[in-house]
Amino acid sequence: MVFLKNYNLLLITISINILSFGCKKSIVDDGIKIGGCTDIDSPIFDSTADYDNASCLYAYINQYEISYYPEENPNATWPFTSWDITGTGADADLYLRIIESDSTNYFFSSPIIDNQSPNSPCFWTSSSNEKLYNKKYHWEVYDRDTGPLDNDFIDSGSFNPIANGLNGKITTFGKHPPENRTQLVLHFEILP
């Protein structure tokens, strides 16, 4: 009788094991892993990569450009609507600065370019090839005159270089209405 109970218990155990194997999904690991860039700060970040294969490249700014700014000060009242001394025909003396949104230090503060035409591109060369990260950046541009009260805010904006970068350029616009928006272009190169 004991033998029969043990035999029945053995059959039940075998039956449960067979059923549980039949219900399990067969997982085949072929051992192939996908390598790629796993750093989200890289423009070639690959979210499907299983491991970092040291292929990451990064965007480094080599030039800053204000390609347009409003011809007249949209914040001023008539007759004082020009950026510099009214009636002289002088244009703004451009000054640009850029900061990472979570920082307190501007990583780029440009030299002043005097009497810059609003419709002609204005360029500054990067002195340090600033590396860009997958985060928000804020920029501001001013008319930086020599008098103590003559520093006029022109425009500002923000961008994420990984989201906005295309073909070696990041193009971003200021906050004024479309007809008066300042356009900032950051030229970058992709390097290891």
User: For 14-62, what is each residue's pLDDT tens digit?
Assistant: 444 444 444 444 454 567 899 999 999 999 999 999 999 999 999 999 9
d(CA 84, CA 69): 14
Q: What is the structure's pLDDT at 72?
A: 80
Q: What is the mean pLDDT of residues 81-99?
A: 81
User: For 120-178, what is each residue's pLDDT tens digit?
Assistant: 999 999 988 899 999 999 999 999 876 555 678 999 999 999 988 999 999 999 998 88
Q: Token pair for residue 180?
A: 């008066």
Ranges 10-14, 59-63, 95-99: which has the least confidence = 10-14
Q: Could you tell me which residues come within 8 angstroms of residue 23 by beta carbon, excluding any fewer than 6 positions away?
A: none
Q: Give yes or no for a contact between 161 and 107, defined as CB atoms under 8 angstroms apart.
A: no
Q: What is the structure's pLDDT at 86?
A: 61
pLDDT: is 39 or 72 the higher one?
39
Question: What's at 25, amino acid-wise?
Answer: K
Whether 7 shows a pLDDT value over 80: the answer reads no
DSSP codes, 95-159:
EEEEEETT-SSEEEEPPPEEEE-TTS-EEEE-SS-PBP-SS-EEEEEEEE-SSTT-EEEEEEEEE
Count of other CB atoms within 10 angstroms of residue 27: 5
